[in-house]
Structure 1
Amino acid sequence: MMSTSPLAPAGWGTTAAGVRPSLTVLSGFWPGATYAVARALLAADPALLLVRHDLADVRVGGVQRVVRDSSGVLEDERISLAHGCVSCTLRQDVLPTLARLARAYPDRDLILMLPEVVEPEAVAAACTHCLVDGAPLTDLLHVDSYVTVVDAEHLLDGLASTDDLRSRDIHAADDDDRSLADVIVRQLEYADTLVLWGRSPDGDYDTGRLAVLLERLTPWATQVHVRDDVVDAQALTRQLRRTHRHRPETPGVLVRGLEGHVLGVHEPHPDCGVVSVDFRARRPFHPQRLHDVLEKVNEEVIRSRGHLWLASQPETIVAWDFAGGGLSLGSLGRWLAFLPDDRWAEASDHRRLAAALDWDPYYGDRHQHLVFVGLDLDPADLHRRLTRCLLTDAELADGEQTWRGYPDPFAGCFPLAELTDHPTQGEPG
């Protein structure tokens, strides 16, 4: 049976296994704006179903589930969970609810509106790895798009906030130590579509600046701007639904660059004051010199991300993740240059292809790739500071054994499992 929606082009959602309802996932840290978009989509299509979960009581084991369409509420039920956390909610109720509705209403598409503290990548992972009645959810639904709604009035304050969710009493579990800014950037960066809702209270120029900022933060996403006082529900539906924008094979933002995907753009000339700097280099960073400039290079930055390598830890891919005034560094595993040939299969096809295309006879696949986005950044100064942290010609000539002996403030921060083999492939000679 084909969808009864008047907005459904013939053949969309059809597979060899039959017709599947289409699922649009809405996220956003400001639920008023997110719900306004959901209501507009409901108004444009009477057949559409909206699923929402209120996590206000999740830490004490309770979740309120509401299912509605344009005519009103169809379900309003309190669910008890054995363990109060977002992951439990996704496994135990969200996915089964979507599966149940897809079976009960095969001719009606779905919108899943996420609570403000849920990151869409967690939902995508659950859809891929968690089975419902022994089968993945995607056997029943076509996941069409991940849409993040941004409130123009509060975006800059949110990105600049140093608060954590716990301080606002909106943490999703007892061990949830995420910051507000971390959640916002992850909602933005996983989305394939962004909706800038409303206008900045400071006028049209600042609203335009927000649009540029979102383009620099997420150059891979389609952006839609909706004035909150004039909403064309039909036009918004055409922009947000049945777009086929979701690409489940796209990796998380911290490994995008390793897999050959766009990590950011180099736009050093300000546009409404917004600057984006893409820093790349082959040489390793000197660990002490890099440590000494960490605070300075992020001083005027709203968001920076990427990966790097240190001369003192040449096997390790180090993730760089800055938002809300806090920088996190972690391990992304080993460079392929330090894996024996028989272990290259552990990396994805995209990772191996990207490495082969950019392979260097001396460094292998090792390189620096960092992106910085901010207001009124000085790109030349930022580039100079980072370049001074790279090894000099004389230091390179000393060789890897000398590098490993450098004083390293990051020592022990990025542990790697021991290899059973001792590879020599790609080691500088």
Structure 2
Amino acid sequence: MSSSPQAPPHAAPTDADTRPSLTVLSGFWPAATFAVARTLLAADESLLLVRHDLARIRDGVVRRVVRSAAGIVEDERIALRHGCVSCTLREDVLPTIARLARTRPGRDLVLMLPEVVEPEAVAAACAHCLVDGKPITDLVRVDSYVTVLDAEHLLDGLASTDDLTTLGIQAAEDDHRALADVVVRQVEYADTLVLWGQSRDGAFDISRLSVLLRRIAPWATHLRVDGDLVDAGALTRQLRHTRRHRPGTPGILARGLQGYALGAHEPDPDCGVVSAVFRARRPFHPQRLHDVLEDVNAEVIRSRGHLWLASQPDTVVAWEFAGGGLAMGSLGHWLVSLPEDRWEHVDDQRRIAAALDWDPYYGDRHQHLVFIGVDIDPVELHRTLAGCLLTDAELADGEDAWRTYPDPFAGCFPLGAEEPTDTDDTDTEGAPPA
């Protein structure tokens, strides 16, 4: 699931809200995530922690454990008809949350996700999957999405080129995600990030990791916990009843199109970390861009955004890089290429953002890319990308000539007959390798 959740009107929190609060914990390193969960349990005897073990999910078996500070409340094995994360969310996770909210009123809940589950999948399930004919938000208030990062292993995870299948921890038979992709998506969707534990490389490395996380997710609240001596009460106040979750915030690939910041432009190194934003109106020449794909991501930990190609001027092209691999895919049409009677299929926020930034010649088409890494040269990066834009002479040739350019990306970004309502549903299959 990669769709962006939309808040139902009745889900807005109020001071009179009596629904139990749900805090969602994610993280690729379960020891660190469970340490945070135990800390929250220690501070509140009424709190319930829900965990699902997916170790045997491909056999159709999931173990569900519910515990409180006093001990295990439930420990049950569940048989699923289909061995996949989406089925688990739909068939057991959400029904369990709903049941606990009904049968144990007044007790808040913490849902600890398995390490390979991305929080955005849970948010989409909460928004779109019904339990007994009703949305889960009728029964619980989703308070916050918290991602816990293990300071000792974070940088290795972000730099890893392994995929989940190679590691034997894929969530389904067709799960081909890379480890680094999972980690960055857990970071980017969270409204709260906890950097837990110590780095084997000392205080400077902790500072560098903190800066890196702030550059990857500048919109989140950032907390640092050393793990050796934790104030359970203080951590609870920082993580629970914060009401930080904003259900209407789109997924990372749709944020730029909907007018949200994709990243901060911080070209001066801080602990060696640089974040560079590249924006332009002109289209990229397809061959020149293809030729520099490897160079522009050579020292990058994470890059993301969207762009347009002169040879495919109707298409919003998504760009995602993590763990040594670049994925590019279609995010649908630029509005300027759609008849106005089809704009009704596009999210309201997307239309507002386009109107505010409309150009008489280019319409809503533009380049918006963010590059984050250690010791990268933002000036050289900008120079390289700017060199891929069309020249004045090429611009003067016009759109009919652009469509005839030799295009290594030809056929990679198909457009459907209708514009999807969810602009974060990205097809990244078929893009040429970097």
Same fold at TM > 0.5: yes
Matching of residues 279-318 of structure 1 within 5 Å: 279-318=278-317
Matching of residues 197-216 of structure 1 within 5 Å: 197-216=196-215
Q: Aligned with 1:65: secondary structure?
A: strand
Is the deviation greater in 373-382 or in 198-207? 198-207
Q: Aligned with 2:100: secondary structure?
A: helix
Task: Check conservation: 1:148, 1:188, Cα contact below 8 A.
Answer: yes
Task: Check conservation: 1:25, 1:112, Cα contact below 8 A.
Answer: yes
- Measured against aligned partners, the alpha-carbon deviations of 1:11-59 in whole angstroms (never above 9, x if no partner) come to x96577x610000000000000000000000000111000000000000
Cα drift, residue 255 of structure 1 = 1.0
Paired with 1:204 and 1:230, the residues of 2 have a C-alpha distance of 16
Match of 1:41 in 2: 40
Match of 1:391 in 2: 390
Matching of residues 244-323 of structure 1 within 5 Å: 244-323=243-322
User: Comparing both chains, which one has the higher relative contact order based on Cα–Cα distances under 8 Å and sequence gaps of 6 or more?
Assistant: 2
Cα drift, residue 306 of structure 1 = 0.0
Cα drift, residue 347 of structure 1 = 1.4
Match of 1:8 in 2: none
**Structure 1 counterpart of 2:388, which letter?**
C
- Measured against aligned partners, the alpha-carbon deviations of 1:81-121 in whole angstroms (never above 9, x if no partner) come to 01111011001100000000000112000000000000000
Cα drift, residue 349 of structure 1 = 1.5
Match of 2:81 in 1: 82
Cα drift, residue 344 of structure 1 = 1.2
Paired with 1:44 and 1:15, the residues of 2 have a C-alpha distance of 23
Paired with 2:291 and 2:178, the residues of 1 have a C-alpha distance of 24
Paired with 1:48 and 1:237, the residues of 2 have a C-alpha distance of 11
Paired with 1:15 and 1:100, the residues of 2 have a C-alpha distance of 24
TM-score normalised by the chain length of structure 2:
0.93
- Measured against aligned partners, the alpha-carbon deviations of 1:387-427 in whole angstroms (never above 9, x if no partner) come to 0000000000000000000000000001112479xxxxxxx
* Percent identical residues: 74
**Structure 1 counterpart of 2:106, which letter?**
D
Distance 1:115 1:68, change over 3 A: same
Q: Aligned with 1:321: secondary structure?
A: strand
Paired with 1:403 and 1:339, the residues of 2 have a C-alpha distance of 19
Cα drift, residue 340 of structure 1 = 1.1
Match of 2:366 in 1: 367
Paired with 1:167 and 1:414, the residues of 2 have a C-alpha distance of 28
Q: Aligned with 1:19: secondary structure?
A: coil
**Structure 2 counterpart of 1:296, which letter?**
D
**Structure 2 counterpart of 1:249, which letter?**
G
Task: Check conservation: 1:13, 1:19, Cα contact below 8 A.
Answer: no
Paired with 2:129 and 2:79, the residues of 1 have a C-alpha distance of 19
Which consecutive residues of structure 2, in runs of 5 or more, have no partner in the other structure?
Answer: 1-11, 420-434
Q: Aligned with 2:155: secondary structure?
A: helix
- Measured against aligned partners, the alpha-carbon deviations of 1:179-198 in whole angstroms (never above 9, x if no partner) come to 10010001000000000001
TM-score normalised by the chain length of structure 1:
0.94
Paired with 2:341 and 2:184, the residues of 1 have a C-alpha distance of 37
Matching of residues 1-400 of structure 1 within 5 Å: 19-400=18-399
Paired with 1:417 and 1:143, the residues of 2 have a C-alpha distance of 34
Paired with 1:77 and 1:14, the residues of 2 have a C-alpha distance of 35
- Measured against aligned partners, the alpha-carbon deviations of 1:188-231 in whole angstroms (never above 9, x if no partner) come to 00000000001211110110000000000000000010011010
Paired with 1:271 and 1:279, the residues of 2 have a C-alpha distance of 19
**Rg bigger for which structure?**
1
**Structure 2 counterpart of 1:365, which letter?**
D
Distance 1:15 1:88, change over 3 A: farther
- Measured against aligned partners, the alpha-carbon deviations of 1:60-82 in whole angstroms (never above 9, x if no partner) come to 01000000000000000000001
Paired with 1:348 and 1:85, the residues of 2 have a C-alpha distance of 29
Task: Check conservation: 1:259, 1:351, Cα contact below 8 A.
Answer: yes
Q: Aligned with 2:187: secondary structure?
A: helix
Q: Aligned with 1:255: secondary structure?
A: helix
Paired with 1:23 and 1:243, the residues of 2 have a C-alpha distance of 11
Q: Aligned with 1:38: secondary structure?
A: helix
Paired with 1:205 and 1:246, the residues of 2 have a C-alpha distance of 31
Q: Aligned with 1:73: secondary structure?
A: strand
Paired with 1:324 and 1:417, the residues of 2 have a C-alpha distance of 30
**Structure 2 counterpart of 1:162, which letter?**
T
Task: Check conservation: 1:254, 1:319, Cα contact below 8 A.
Answer: yes
Paired with 1:42 and 1:135, the residues of 2 have a C-alpha distance of 29
Paired with 2:14 and 2:255, the residues of 1 have a C-alpha distance of 30
- Measured against aligned partners, the alpha-carbon deviations of 1:291-341 in whole angstroms (never above 9, x if no partner) come to 000000000000000000000000000000000000000000000101111
Match of 2:3 in 1: none
**Structure 2 counterpart of 1:273, which letter?**
G
Q: How many residue pairs end up in the alignment?
A: 408
Match of 2:422 in 1: none
Q: Aligned with 2:395: secondary structure?
A: helix
The structure 1 segments of at least 4 consecutive aligned residues displaced by more than 3 Å after TM superposition are 12-16
Q: Aligned with 2:248: secondary structure?
A: coil
Task: Check conservation: 1:62, 1:84, Cα contact below 8 A.
Answer: yes
Paired with 1:242 and 1:248, the residues of 2 have a C-alpha distance of 16
Q: Aligned with 2:94: secondary structure?
A: helix
Task: Check conservation: 1:52, 1:65, Cα contact below 8 A.
Answer: yes
Cα drift, residue 350 of structure 1 = 1.1
Paired with 1:271 and 1:20, the residues of 2 have a C-alpha distance of 43
Task: Check conservation: 1:13, 1:20, Cα contact below 8 A.
Answer: no
Q: Aligned with 1:258: secondary structure?
A: coil
Match of 2:429 in 1: none
Q: Aligned with 2:257: secondary structure?
A: helix
